[in-house]
């Protein structure tokens, strides 16, 4: 199966999971840790996605937020079945289904679907990124004062929250405005689509940003860690931007 065919499969799985989530009735909620929740719908969404993907690609491995799985494989699906669970469980419309495909250790396909807005972001390595079939590209904003920055506070890990709050005043004072959506995958796609200019957060997990990374970079964006020579893909400390603002944003984070 080609990467383009993998992308079409990811879209089919994401839309099926989204349709199920939009039809949900009452569901149970558990606390995973401080400020972190999981619902039975997270598990149902992950199971549906896993079955859809692996029935078509039995040679691949699977890694999901809720059930884990393979840490390495020649072909691996990386899935967050509901990115923005708190939004979902409280009735906010902004939550996403995030599906990435990793080929020989490199992220190659990204699919991010927001059922509440019916936005489907899709990207294949080397082929660009789209929103509902329309090509997208990062913004041309080059001046920090004109920038909209999406920011996560890393509030589930005290040291990450402290570091974020320490740099927040300088960041806020130097840009046009900030946003907090509650879903990392959607934040990355907002930068990819040019509606925002940067997204930064500490302590993310691979399933949070894998699909959004492909969408962002295929739309012309840049993705690094917070510190010099830090690989954000490995640490989960993410600085993303349209590229033009990248070093200016990182300077404020230091």
Last residue of a domain, one of 136, 162, 179: 136
Last residue of a domain, one of 118, 136, 154: 136
**pTM for this structure?**
0.94
pLDDT over threshold 90, residue 207: yes
Q: Which residue has the higher pLDDT, 70 or 239?
A: 239
Query: Residue 34: which pLDDT band, with cuts at 50, 70 and 90?
Result: low
Res 29: pLDDT = 67
Give the domain CATH number at 8: 3.30.540.10
Residues 71 and 159 in one domain: no
Residues 64 and 117 in one domain: yes
Per residue in 163-203, pLDDT (tens digit) is 999 999 999 999 999 999 999 999 999 999 999 999 999 99
Res 26: pLDDT = 58
Domain boundaries, position 121: 3-136
The secondary structure element, H or E, covering residue 201 is strand 198-201
Per residue in 121-133, pLDDT (tens digit) is 999 999 999 999 9
d(CA 65, CA 42): 9
Residues 93 and 213 in one domain: no
Give the domain CATH number at 243: 3.40.190.80
Please tell me the total count of domains within the chain.
2
**β 119-124/106-114 pair status:** antiparallel
């Amino acid at each position: 199966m080609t990467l383009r065919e993998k992308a079409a499969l990811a879209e089919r799985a994401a839309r099926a999971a989204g349709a199920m989530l939009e039809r949900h009735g009452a569901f149970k909620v558990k606390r995973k840790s401080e400020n972190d929740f999981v619902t039975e719908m997270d598990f149902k969404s992950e199971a549906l996605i896993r079955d859809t993907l692996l029935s078509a690609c039995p040679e691949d491995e699977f890694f999901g937020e809720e059930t884990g799985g393979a840490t390495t494989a020649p072909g691996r699906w990386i899935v967050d079945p509901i990115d923005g669970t708190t939004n979902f469980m409280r009735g906010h419309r902004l939550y996403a289904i995030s599906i990435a495909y990793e080929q020989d250790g490199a992220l190659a396909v990204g699919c991010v679907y927001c059922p509440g807005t019916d936005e489907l972001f899709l990207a294949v390595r080397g082929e660009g990124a789209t929103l509902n079939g329309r090509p997208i590209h990062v913004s041309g904003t080059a001046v920090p004062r004109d920038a909209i920055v999406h920011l996560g506070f890393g509030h589930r890990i005290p040291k990450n929250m402290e570091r974020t709050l320490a740099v927040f005043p300088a960041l806020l004072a130097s840009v046009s405005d900030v946003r907090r959506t509650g879903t990392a995958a959607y934040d990355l796609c907002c930068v990819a689509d040019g509606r925002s200019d940067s997204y930064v957060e500490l302590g993310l997990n691979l399933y949070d940003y894998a699909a959004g990374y492909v969408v962002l970079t295929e739309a012309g964006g840049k993705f690094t860690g917070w510190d010099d020579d830090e690989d954000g893909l490995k640490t989960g400390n993410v600085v993303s931007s349209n590229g033009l603002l990248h070093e200016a944003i990182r300077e404020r984070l230091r």
